Amino acid sequence: MAGVILNGSTSGSVTLDPPAVAGSTVITLPSTSGTMLLSNGDGSGLTGISGANFTNNYVRLSGTQLNNAQNSVTKYILETELSDTNGWWDSTNHKFLPNKAGWYQVNCSWTPSRAATGVLQFYHRLYKNGTFQDELGGRNVSYANSTNSGPGHVNCTYFAYLNGSTDYLENYVYTYDYGGGGDGWVTLTHMYISWVGV
Amino acid sequence: MTLFEKIKTLYPEFTDDDHINSYVIQNDMDGKGEYLASWSHPTAPRPTEEQLQGVA
């Protein structure tokens, strides 16, 4: 059967044209009146659709200085919770364990430094479920410091999917002192972990 | 003596790149201290626990 044409009461018409494929296609209309969203519309007339609520869907942390041993990947546990309305940061085990599934964006800034003049290599490594994963981008942050103070911040951005029940994230840091074995000094200046979608 | 220092003693010929790229020393800050999480040096074998403990 070809399409069905509904003629308007005075002029015009509406044509319902089934797709040219096998099987049935069912269109179910709601029991209330309304306006259908068309593919060439901008959705500006729609109501009742709420955007992502970022008010509470994030944690904000800062930290204090960790003196990291030479050539060691060390869990950073010196966090201070500045904002965590949902209790997503596990301050006992020092990990991010949200009860809301979805994609999370991690933004953080670190200040690495060392005791003497030389070069210090620094990596921030984000671990998911106890394992460092390349796709989280943890290798992308490298830092060389030629003075004895931290001249700037190392900024990091990651995305990670967490299942809202068992998945968690942890911060690890790595330092290597090319000058001969001194500790690297690392401070988490700030960290935001925000839910951004499903 | 740290684990890094022990490996440096066992393999004095290692360069900075060897130390950075050939193995991972990890510390989960759970009270168990540092451990050798992985070893991938192309020629030098992974040191045994006995070798590491034998380094003064």
Question: What chain A residue is nearest to B37 in terms of C-alpha separation?
Answer: A73
Q: What is the pLDDT of residue A49?
A: 66
Contacts of B29 in chain A (CB under 8 A): 74-75, 77, 94
- ipTM of the complex in this document: 0.89
Contacts of A94 in chain B (CB under 8 A): 29
Q: Which pTM was predicted?
A: 0.75
Q: What is the pLDDT of residue A146?
A: 52
Series of mean pLDDT values for 10-residue runs along chain A (198 residues): 83 87 85 76 69 79 91 91 94 95 92 70 88 58 50 79 96 82 79 92
Of the candidates A33, A79, A39, A38, which has an alpha carbon nearest to the alpha carbon of residue A60?
A79
Write out pLDDT tens, residues B1-56: 999 999 999 999 999 999 999 999 999 999 999 999 999 999 999 999 999 999 97
Q: What is the pLDDT of residue A145?
A: 53
Q: What is the pLDDT of residue B53?
A: 93
The C-alpha atoms of residue A137 and residue A124 are separated, in whole angstroms, by 9
- Write the residue in B16, B24, B30 that is nearest to A73 by C-beta: B24
**Helix or strand (DSSP H, E) at A111:** strand A102-114
Of the candidates A67, A186, A139, which has an alpha carbon nearest to the alpha carbon of residue B21?
A139
Q: What is the pLDDT of residue A15?
A: 87
Q: What is the pLDDT of residue A147?
A: 53
Contacts of A176 in chain B (CB under 8 A): 16, 19-20
Q: What is the pLDDT of residue A115?
A: 62
